[in-house]
């Protein structure tokens, strides 16, 4: 103690003032300024968050807002009606070209194949939106579940063994006739994808968010490389050919889906999209949906309130996975041919860009995002070399200027614009000022 005393005295304020008064004052001033600065910033951020939320509570002005209010007031029948009208319009889009003279770029977009592609990706975007938008988990290997669905279809319909038999030429393989079983296979793929999602998710969802992103990225690659290497099971790089087209044959009904360009695929996929929108809406407004909100906004607080974090994340992951699985089956049966290079990282990121551009956590946003990403390059053919470049740029710009997306969900908008409570990177905007 006795030895330390002089050292302590050396640091007393009086000594400092005598020795280096000027320096100490600036240090104190800086400290005070910085504290005031931080406080001020905190206040402005709170205010910004409040204004974002309160915009929805502002008085009704203008004819459009009045109409919107009227619709909201009678939402019990207006919402189903609007939904029904939208579905009807969407379903009739392929006929538009027959009824009227359309400019070339519109007729390209309303062709059956373009619309089917849009509907397929809308389905994927809806599924990924549950994972990224609702649960706040970044899944960069979404394409893996698509691949699983497609390969399930390829193997379960017997198309794979048929392809193998024809390649080896040893025996006449039976032409795959499992077309009727397509609906069973749809369920099978759903189950396979959910199981894969749970197997991947249950260990990794406990990890930090950014680790999950890279693990899923790796998982996407593992599935693709495995499909490429396991010749006996997946056909390897040659892929699977002759996946049968679906068919319904019951009673007097006989609907048969044709080749790639058949408009009926669009309607099939549109039906799936509608089913999924309804299901996801119900989920979003249920206990599970509220649990997702809680997890997204503050994971620690949610856990403290008794929300089963891992289970809820797993649910989101599994729902996303099964969506991709179902989409994969329809994809395989429409195209009739699947091979590993289709399921690369680029597709995962393309689907992510749909969710981001449309608006994370917003169901109409996911569909609009899919429309933008799929149909826009279709409109501007000749510029399609630039599309990935443009979408990459769009993702960054969206994150900077409009993180809530084109068609934001109200709650998500408030979260993304305001200061987040949970995981947040510190702000260094005034460092060194």
What are the residues binding other proteins (CB under 8 A)? 30-31, 34, 45, 132, 136, 138, 140, 203-204, 207, 209-211, 213-215, 217-219, 221-222, 225-226, 228-229, 345-346, 349, 352-353, 356, 360, 385-386, 388-389, 391-396, 398-400, 403, 415-416, 419-420, 422-429, 431-432
247-250 and 253-256 strand pairing: antiparallel
Which phi and psi (to 5°) does residue 208 adopt? -65, 155
Asked if 187 contacts 111 with a C-beta cutoff of 8 angstroms, the reply is no
State in angstroms the smallest separation of the CB of 309 from other proteins: 16
State in angstroms the smallest separation of the CB of 338 from other proteins: 19
d(C-alpha 147, C-alpha 227), whole Å: 9
State in angstroms the smallest separation of the CB of 234 from other proteins: 13
Q: Compare residues 364 and 422 and give the one whose CB is closer to other proteins.
A: 422
Q: Compare residues 41 and 166 and give the one whose CB is closer to other proteins.
A: 41
Go through the chain and tell me how many residues it has.
433
State in angstroms the smallest separation of the CB of 65 from other proteins: 28
Q: Compare residues 14 and 433 and give the one whose CB is closer to other proteins.
A: 433
- The DSSP call for residue 338 is B
Q: Compare residues 56 and 427 and give the one whose CB is closer to other proteins.
A: 427
- The DSSP call for residue 250 is E
Q: Compare residues 183 and 211 and give the one whose CB is closer to other proteins.
A: 211
State in angstroms the smallest separation of the CB of 178 from other proteins: 30
State in angstroms the smallest separation of the CB of 201 from other proteins: 12
d(C-alpha 114, C-alpha 279), whole Å: 25
Asked if 312 contacts 295 with a C-beta cutoff of 8 angstroms, the reply is yes
State in angstroms the smallest separation of the CB of 219 from other proteins: 7
Q: Compare residues 229 and 286 and give the one whose CB is closer to other proteins.
A: 229
Q: Compare residues 60 and 346 and give the one whose CB is closer to other proteins.
A: 346
Asked if 17 contacts 24 with a C-beta cutoff of 8 angstroms, the reply is yes
d(C-alpha 284, C-alpha 341), whole Å: 34
State in angstroms the smallest separation of the CB of 13 from other proteins: 19
d(C-alpha 319, C-alpha 151), whole Å: 19
State in angstroms the smallest separation of the CB of 203 from other proteins: 5
Query: For residue 331, which of 315, 347, 316, 352 has the smallest C-alpha distance?
Result: 347
Tell me the CB-side half-sphere exposure of residue 97, using CA atoms within 13 A: 13
Asked if 257 contacts 333 with a C-beta cutoff of 8 angstroms, the reply is yes
Which phi and psi (to 5°) does residue 255 adopt? -110, 125
d(C-alpha 144, C-alpha 101), whole Å: 41
State in angstroms the smallest separation of the CB of 400 from other proteins: 4
d(C-alpha 363, C-alpha 278), whole Å: 10
Q: Compare residues 160 and 412 and give the one whose CB is closer to other proteins.
A: 412
Give the angle subtended at the CA of 67 by the CAs of 64 and 68, to the nearest 5°: 85
d(C-alpha 344, C-alpha 285), whole Å: 34
Q: Compare residues 262 and 298 and give the one whose CB is closer to other proteins.
A: 298
State in angstroms the smallest separation of the CB of 388 from other proteins: 4
Residues 6+ apart with CB under 8 A from 370: 118, 121, 122, 124, 125, 354, 358
* Torsion sign (Cα): 190, 194, 197, 199: negative
SS3 state of residue 173: coil
Q: Compare residues 93 and 128 and give the one whose CB is closer to other proteins.
A: 128
Q: Compare residues 155 and 223 and give the one whose CB is closer to other proteins.
A: 223
């Amino acid at each position: 103690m006795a030895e330390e005393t002089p050292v302590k005295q050396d640091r007393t304020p009086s000594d400092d003032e005598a020795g280096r008064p000027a320096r100490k004052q600036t240090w104190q001033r800086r400290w005070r300024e910085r504290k005031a600065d931080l406080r001020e910033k905190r206040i402005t951020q709170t205010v910004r968050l409040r204004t974002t939320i309160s915009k929805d509570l502002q008085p009704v002005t203008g004819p459009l807002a009045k109409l919107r209010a009227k619709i909201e007031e009678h939402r019990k029948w207006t919402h189903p009606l609007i939904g029904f009208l939208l579905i009807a319009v969407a379903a009739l889009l392929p006929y538009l070209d027959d009824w009227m003279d359309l400019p070339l770029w519109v007729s390209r977009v309303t062709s059956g194949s373009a619309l089917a592609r849009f509907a397929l990706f809308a389905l994927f975007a809806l599924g990924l939106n549950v994972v990224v938008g609702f649960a706040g988990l970044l899944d960069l290997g979404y394409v893996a579940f698509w691949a699983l669905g497609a390969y399930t279809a390829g193997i379960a319909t017997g198309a794979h063994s048929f392809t193998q038999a024809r390649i080896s030429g040893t025996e006449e393989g039976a032409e795959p006739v499992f077309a009727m079983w397509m609906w069973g296979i749809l369920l099978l793929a759903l189950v396979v994808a959910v199981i894969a999602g749970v197997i991947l998710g249950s260990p990794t969802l406990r990890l930090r968010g950014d680790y999950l992103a890279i693990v899923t990225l790796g998982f996407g690659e593992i599935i693709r490389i495995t499909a490429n290497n396991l010749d006996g099971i997946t056909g390897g790089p040659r892929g699977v050919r002759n996946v049968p087209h679906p068919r319904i044959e019951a009673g007097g009904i006989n609907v048969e889906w044709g080749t790639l360009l058949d408009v009926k695929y669009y309607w099939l996929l549109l039906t799936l999209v509608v089913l999924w929108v309804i299901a996801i809406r119900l989920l979003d407004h249920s206990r599970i949906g509220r649990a997702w909100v809680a997890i997204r906004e503050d994971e620690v607080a949610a856990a403290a309130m008794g929300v089963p974090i891992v289970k809820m994340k797993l649910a989101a992951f599994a729902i996303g996975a099964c969506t991709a699985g179902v989409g994969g089956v329809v994809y395989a049966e429409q195209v009739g041919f699947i091979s590993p290079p289709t399921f690369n990282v680029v597709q995962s990121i393309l689907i992510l860009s749909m969710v981001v551009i449309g608006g994370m956590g917003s169901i109409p946003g996911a569909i609009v995002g899919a429309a933008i990403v799929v149909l826009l390059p279709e409109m501007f053919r000749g510029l399609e070399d630039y599309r990935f470049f443009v979408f990459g740029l769009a993702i960054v710009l969206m994150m900077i200027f409009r993180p809530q997306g084109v068609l934001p969900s109200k709650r998500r908008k408030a979260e993304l614009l305001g200061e987040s409570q949970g995981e947040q990177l510190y702000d260094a905007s005034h460092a060194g000022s």
